[in-house]
A and B are shown apart, each in its own frame.
Chain A
Amino acid sequence: AQKITQTQPGMFVQEKEAVTLDCTYDTSDPSYGLFWYKQPSSGEMIFLIYQGSYDQQNATEGRYSLNFQKARKSANLVISASQLGDSAMYFCAMDYGQNFVFGPGTRLSVLP
């Protein structure tokens, strides 16, 4: 069964604005990790940000931040000040136990 849900197949955002990409997950493991990856049209998978289930603070990496709400089992990615180069597929992923699962992805298009 799919453990990661990304409800937005596609999103548009105006350049320089912030955008939130949704991710919810389902696991009964107390220890897990949540990840976001970016896949531009060139095809490579680029690691963006990581949040551990026991981390007290939300993860941040430059313009990327992860809005981690453990009780709601959500791990939304926030991109601030969007740039044209942010246009890509974004995948939420989780590792739990000895498994690693990806969500279906959200295609983000940044408009000039």
Chain B
Amino acid sequence: DTAVSQTPKYLVTQMGNDKSIKCEQNLGHDTMYWYKQDSKKFLKIMFSYNNKELIINETVPNRFSPKSPDKAHLNLHINSLELGDSAVYFCASSQDQTSGSGTQYFGPGTRLLVL
């Protein structure tokens, strides 16, 4: 059973398009996250979300928006895609957002290429 799953695994699209990446976790965790990993492998958190609070990394453009239909899902919607959005996007989840106890489990990643 896959703990954290993402679809699609690969996404190739044109500049200016709007796309969504889906994430689901079956771990019963309270908190979910989205990360961007650039070509230099640097991982940067974009959002963290539980049923109470959305925390947005202020450097993330507002073209990116997380949408959570329920506790097990956190989808990432991207408007007006740009070339610089090309990266690998990881979804993750943890039981607890409390500092020092939140081991995160990652999905397989979505490789986005914007042409």
List A residues at the B interface (Cβ < 8 Å).
Answer: 29, 31-33, 35, 37, 39, 43-47, 50, 52-54, 89, 91, 95-102, 104-105
A37 to B40 CA separation, bound complex (whole angstroms): 16
* Residue in B44, B48, B92, B100 whose CB lies within 8 Å of A54: B100
Residue of B nearest to A49 (CB): B103
Report 10 cross-chain contacts, Cβ distance below 8 Å, ordered by A residue: A32-B100, A33-B103, A35-B103, A43-B109, A52-B100, A52-B101, A100-B45, A102-B44, A104-B42, A105-B42
A-B contact count (CB 8 A): 65
Q: Which B residues contact A (CB, under 8 angstroms)?
A: 33, 35, 40-45, 48, 55, 88, 90, 92, 97, 99-106, 108-109, 111
Q: Verify B99–A95 contact, CB threshold 8 A.
A: yes
Given A91-B43, A100-B48, check contact A47 B99 (CB 8 Å): no
The answer to whether residues A43 and B88 also contact, given A99-B45, A101-B45 and a CB cut-off of 8 A, is: yes
**Does the CB pair A33–B43 fall under 8 Å?**
no
